[in-house]
Amino acid sequence: MVELVLFIIFGLAALFGAVTTVWARNPVYSALGLMLTLFSVAVFYVSNGAQFVAAVQVIVYAGAVMTLFLFVIMLVGVDRAEDRRENLPVQRPLALGLLVLFGAGVLVAGRFAWVTGAEGGRGAEGTVEALGSELFRRWVLPFELTALLLIIAAAGTVALGLFRRGEAEGGDEGEAGEGEEAP
């Protein structure tokens, strides 16, 4: 009973946040809406026994990543509300139709059992110890390979963003970037 009440409260909050994310004209509201969704989703993680994932979601995702988003939104400016006129007039109704169709399909599918896989024992609790020992035993190779991703993220952002002093500037269109912004 408590779980059902919690689900209704946070489910509505998550949906409200999601609608805000896709609907708000101001990107700041979008980011805050997504943050609300992420927090509510973290509650569901806990109720499914995934405490560690919930903690990571709140700290890394809702905390660090969304802060990064807000920084960038502030940097690129929030003063201009988004222009809602469409170049392709059919795009929006089409997307809305797709949304309704998908939602209906989900509601129909929701009446059946989704999970057909082989059931294991009782769901194990996702505590730090349990996840840690699995992460470093069974999943150690993908865990190590995320290092490659971090190298790409670092080298890629440097390649795109860092304008070093004395670097050859100027593309073929003769349009030079702002080369003096080197930190």
Partner 1 sequence: MNGSLTFLSVAPEIALAAAVVLLLLVEVTFKPRAWAWAVVAGAGLAAGTALSAWQWVAHRGADTGTFWNGMIAVDGFAALAGLLVFPLAGLGLMSAWRLAASQGRRGAEFIALVLLAAAGAHLMAAAADFIMLFIGLEVFSLSLYVLAGFTRERVDADEASLKYFLLGAFASAVFLYGVALVFAATGSTTFYGDGGIADYLAGTVIFRPGVLLAGLALLLVGLAFKVSAAPFHVWAPDVYQGAPGGVTGFLAAAAKVAGFAALARVLTAVLGARADDWVPAVAVLAAASVVVGTLLAIVQDDVKRLLAYSSVAHAGFILTALVAGRGGVGDMWFYLATYAVQVLGAFTVAAAVSGDRAGRSPLAHWAGLGRRAPWLAAAMTLMLLAMAGIPLTAGFAGKVAVFRAAIDAGYLWLVIVAVLATVAGLFFYLRVIVAMYLASPEEGASLPASPAVGWGARFVLAVAAAATLVFGIAPWPLLEVLRDALPL
Partner 2 sequence: MTVNQFLILGALLFSLGVYGVLVRRNAVAVLLSIELMLAAVNINLVAFGSLLGDTLHTGHIFALFVITVAAAEVGIGLAIVILIFRNRSSANVDELDLMKW
Say which residue the tokens 């988003």 belong to.
69
Query: Taking CB under 8 A as the criterion, which residues in 15-34 touch partner 2?
Result: 15, 18-19, 21-22, 27, 30-31, 34
d(CA 114, CA 41): 20
8 Å CB contact between 43 and 59: no
Query: Taking CB under 8 A as the criterion, which residues in 52-111 touch partner 2?
Result: 52-53, 56-57, 60-61, 64-65, 68-69, 72-73, 75-76, 82-83, 87, 91-92, 94-96, 98-99, 102-103, 106-107, 109-110
Q: Does 94 bind partner 1 (CB under 8 A)?
A: no
Site string for partner 1, 119-138 (x = CB under 8 A): xx----------------xx
Out of 171, 180, 181, 183, the only residue in the binding site for partner 1 (CB under 8 A) is 171
Q: Does 159 bind partner 1 (CB under 8 A)?
A: yes
Out of 75, 90, 107, 114, the only residue in the binding site for partner 1 (CB under 8 A) is 114
Out of 15, 19, 99, 155, the only residue in the binding site for partner 1 (CB under 8 A) is 155
How many other C-beta atoms are found inside a 10 Å radius of the C-beta of residue 33?
20
- The 3-state secondary structure of 79-101, one letter per residue: CCCCCCCCCCCCHHHHHHHHHHH
CA atoms lying within 13 Å on the CB side of residue 17: 18
Q: Which does 170 bind (CB under 5 to 8 A by kind): partner 2, partner 1, none?
A: partner 1
Q: Does 97 bind partner 1 (CB under 8 A)?
A: no
Q: Does 182 bind partner 2 (CB under 8 A)?
A: no
How many other C-beta atoms are found inside a 10 Å radius of the C-beta of residue 122?
7
8 Å CB contact between 81 and 25: yes
**Residues in contact with 170: Cβ distance below 8 Å, sequence separation at least 6, in sequence order:** 176
